[in-house]
Structure 1
Amino acid sequence: MENRPALSKKLNREEFSEYYYLKEELVEFCRENKIPTTGSKLELTERVSHFLETGEILKSKRKVRPIANIGNLDEFSTIEDNFVCSEKHRAFFKSKIGESFSFKVRFQNWLKENSGKTYRDAINAYYKIIEENKSKKTTIDKQFEYNTYIRDFFERNPDKSLEQAIRCWKYKKSIKGHNQYEDLDLNILP
């Protein structure tokens, strides 16, 4: 098995892009090299890649959003601009939907895209999203490579265990190339 190189300034951009690195490793590298550590794994990867190629430090693209002043919420309240999931919002939705409520990514996106609609509309959208998720394969964002790999592993190998899936994932991320599941990954299992 090929060993993954340590993340260091000695790597070039191409070598770096051939291997999988944890977000924690990217943050550590950024700290050591005075690169901003905020943002998603994809943003950190972009900054590290740019730094390895040019030696330049990319600034964080994050904009500070104004925090909305949230009054009392009810079903007829309108969803505020620049919606941010807060404990007040969580408590409201749990009181209306139940303890099983959670801020799923699709629902968060719906809230952010539908300012001006009512919280009653949001509750209806939540139930619709939950129903849609039951009947179709959900999209996993690109930065969640582990989740995608494990889902794809079990789609092809429903008889295998999580331990086997994780063993294959660890192998896959240690070798050069992409991180998508392939049936050849099973060759490392005893």
Structure 2
Amino acid sequence: MPRQMRPDIADIRTGADLRQWYWRKDELVAHARTLGLKRSGAKFTILDRIAHFLDTGARDLPEAPAPKPTSDFDWHSAKLTPDTILTDSYKNTQNVRRFFKAQLGPRFAFSIPLMAWLKENSGKTLSDACAVWRDLQAERRRPGWQSDIKGHNQFNQYTRDFLAAHPDLGMDDVRRVWARKIQQPSPDGRHIYEPSDLDL
């Protein structure tokens, strides 16, 4: 049976059909523009918006209102100390960066795990956040440590898995096989490395 090749996005008629293919964000933005849909947001938000439109004809996704922060603490200009309590209005600002650099040294940098921890831990202190950063740094020094790759970064995960399976191959090989891989459908639009990919 011949392999099904990825159709032109303009030929897709249902949300399910749209979701079985890999689309770059710029392709989704261009198609949303063609359909007269809102184009802002993360890649998967735009994908959801187009799929919803294809299935229902409705131009907007039903959205729950974002909770309003109860704190009016100004993370941009307030004086920060180790005892400063994280609030539900926390923001990663230059003021916060300066505080962390003063406490942790010039090597401090925000990381995705630290930023997530800061957002999710209202009531903890900046001192607690410093301890979390130190723990994260120690974890990174462990042999065999690998960062988590978020689910929306399919290419990054594919690259890691491909190169782990084929250490003798390089990025040109990854890109060549990936370009063929994303031309194939998948049940959920996710493209993961499989040993048979070299045969594509």
Task: Give the TM-score range, shorter chain.
Answer: 0.7 to 0.9
Q: Deviations over 1:5-55 (max 9, x none)?
A: 222264322321121001121122222323222322222221111111222
Question: Does the CA contact (< 8 Å) of 1:36 and 1:60 recur in 2?
Answer: no
SS at match of 1:93: helix
| Other-structure match for 2:29 | 27
Do the aligned partners of residues 100 and 170 (structure 1) sit closer, same or farther apart at CA in structure 2, a change above 3 Å counting?
farther
Report the TM-score when normalising by structure 1: 0.84
Alpha-carbon distance in structure 1 between the residues aligned to 2:106 and 2:162: 31
Mark the CA change 1:58 to 1:146 in structure 2 (over 3 Å): closer, same or farther.
same
Shift of 1:137: 4.2
Structure 2-normalised TM-score? Answer: 0.80
Aligned to 2:66: 63
Deviation at 1:147, TM superposition (A): 1.1
What's the counterpart of residue 47 of structure 2? 45
Superposition deviation, residue 130 in structure 1: 2.7
2:138 match: secondary structure: helix
Deviation larger for 145-154 or 78-87: 78-87
Structure 1 residues 46 and 68 mapped into 2: Cα distance closer, same or farther (>3 Å)?
A: farther
Deviation string 1:160-181 (CA, Å, 9 cap, x unpaired) is: 2122112222221122224101
Give RMSD over aligned pairs: 2.4
Residue equivalent to 2:191: 179
Match of 2:156 in 1: 147
The answer on 1:122 being equivalent to 2:129 is yes
Q: Which residue of 2 aligns with 1:12?
A: 14
Deviation at residue 128 of structure 1 after TM alignment: 0.9
Structure 1 residues not aligned, in runs of 5+: none
Determine the C-alpha separation between the residues in 2 that align with 1:58 and 1:9.
21
Greater Cα shift, 80-89 or 141-150? 80-89
Aligned match of 1:84: 91
CA contact (8 A) 2:12 2:18 kept: no
Distance (Å, rounded) in 2 between the aligned partners of 1:106 and 1:60:
29
Structure 1, residues 111-136: CA drift from partner, whole Å, max 9, x if none? 01212222111011012123334445
Distance 2:179 2:94 in 1: 36
Which amino acid in structure 1 is aligned with residue 74 of structure 2? N
Could you tell me the percent identity over the aligned residues?
Answer: 28
Where do 5+ consecutive residues of structure 2 fail to align? Answer: none
